[in-house]
Amino acid sequence: MSRLKKIKVHIFLRKPYKFENHSVEKLFSSIVKEKNDEFEFILLKCPFHSKGFLRRFLNCIWAFFKQGDINHISGDTNFISIFLDKNKTINTFLDCYNLRHFTGLKKIIFKFFWFYIPIMKSKYITTISNFTKHELKVLLNTNKEIKVIDCFLTQNNYKKKIIENKNCALVIGTTKNKNIDKIFLAVKKTTFALLIVGKLDHKQKNFLLKNNIKYKNFINVSEKKIIELYNMSFVLVNPSLYEGFGLTNLEAQKMGVPVITSNISPMKEIMRDSAILINPNDEHEIHRNINKIHRDKLLRNKIIIKGYKNILNYDIKFAKKKYFDLYRKMLNEK
């Protein structure tokens, strides 16, 4: 069907806090980066942080006046769909972490405004993994169709450098689900250093100091710096207790860094046999496998090669096609 003008796709992003990971922004910025003859993409960042009733309400009002031909809410701020046109709206859900961990009235409010209303106000729903899709089905008891569009590697400049005898293990993220305290227990009696991306609290810093664990801490780092840290590391240690996807695992594989991650969904399905999968609750298993990957060059190279093969499944072109097909389907149904 020919059109005289491009279709305006407005992609709504949260206003991130300074110390947060900005994976969502990176993903959707990459999708819309290239020129497109069919769609005109506009990235819209919420004017206020998602904190408190007034700020969130103002974000909802702002979103109402920023609607396009298609409104795509990219996650973490799904409640802003409350006043949007249902037939123009797509909601992407990244995970159900808070829905699982909140209790009482807080959980009821969160479930209603972050999940129930956005699902009701969406023409289509997408998630970033089959794991999150399953959680939505179970926790929300919804029969609405949910489309899975995997995360992917963004088109960043992944410049690899050959550095011999690396002696640093990389940890990205320090939120509760990242299981960082277990990592610290696992590396108490090791000789290598930790490169930690994310804010540490006083208790964690004191533990590192008391146990003579060598580390460097990086907060609010640039993409260039992250790539530098990958190049300095012999392994990414990510024994996460919960992830909606686990994009850093793929980034590490792209950079030729072997990955140690949790033997739970969705990581075990996404990594397949291309990473060392461990029990995230067993610091001895984490310790044993970090040492193994540090000492065994053959194993390290084997995991790296498998990682290169694995990332071929997460090329941006696959996600772009799925999102663009969904936009076209929505327009045709209108």
Distance CA 126, CA 29 (A): 17
Mean pLDDT of 54-64: 97
Reported as a pLDDT band with limits 50, 70 and 90, residue 27 is confident
Q: What is the mean pLDDT of the chain?
A: 92
Question: Is 176 a member of any domain?
Answer: yes
> Is a pLDDT exceeding 80 seen at residue 39?
yes
Residues 319 and 294 in one domain: no
Reported as a pLDDT band with limits 50, 70 and 90, residue 20 is low
pLDDT at 142: 87
Question: Is 158 a member of any domain?
Answer: no
The least confident of 14-18, 42-46, 220-224, 303-307 is: 14-18
pLDDT at 220: 84
Question: Is 205 a member of any domain?
Answer: yes
pLDDT in tens, 189-205: 888 999 999 999 999 99
Q: Could you tell me which residue, 299 or 18, shows the higher pLDDT?
A: 299
Distance CA 166, CA 90 (A): 44
What is the span of the domain harbouring residue 291?
168-314
> Is a pLDDT exceeding 60 seen at residue 1?
no
Distance CA 304, CA 326 (A): 34
Q: Which range among 4-18, 212-226, 277-291 has the greatest average pLDDT?
A: 277-291
> Is a pLDDT exceeding 50 seen at residue 63?
yes
**C-alpha dihedral, 12 to 32 to 150 to 56, nearest 10°:** -10
CATH classification at residue 16: 3.40.50.2000
Residues 172 and 310 in one domain: yes
pTM over 0.95: no
Domain total in the chain: 2
CB 56 within 8 A of CB 78: no
Give the position of tokens 């990176």: 26
CA 231 to mean position of chain CA atoms: 21
Question: Is 1 a member of any domain?
Answer: no
pLDDT at 166: 85
- What are the Cα distances from residue 201, in Å, to 66, 102, 188, 217, 223? 38, 22, 18, 11, 23
Residues 44 and 104 in one domain: yes
Mean pLDDT of 22-27: 77
SS3 at position 71: strand
215 contact partners, CB below 8 Å, separation of at least 6: 193, 194, 195, 196, 208
Question: Is 224 a member of any domain?
Answer: yes
> Is a pLDDT exceeding 80 seen at residue 68?
yes
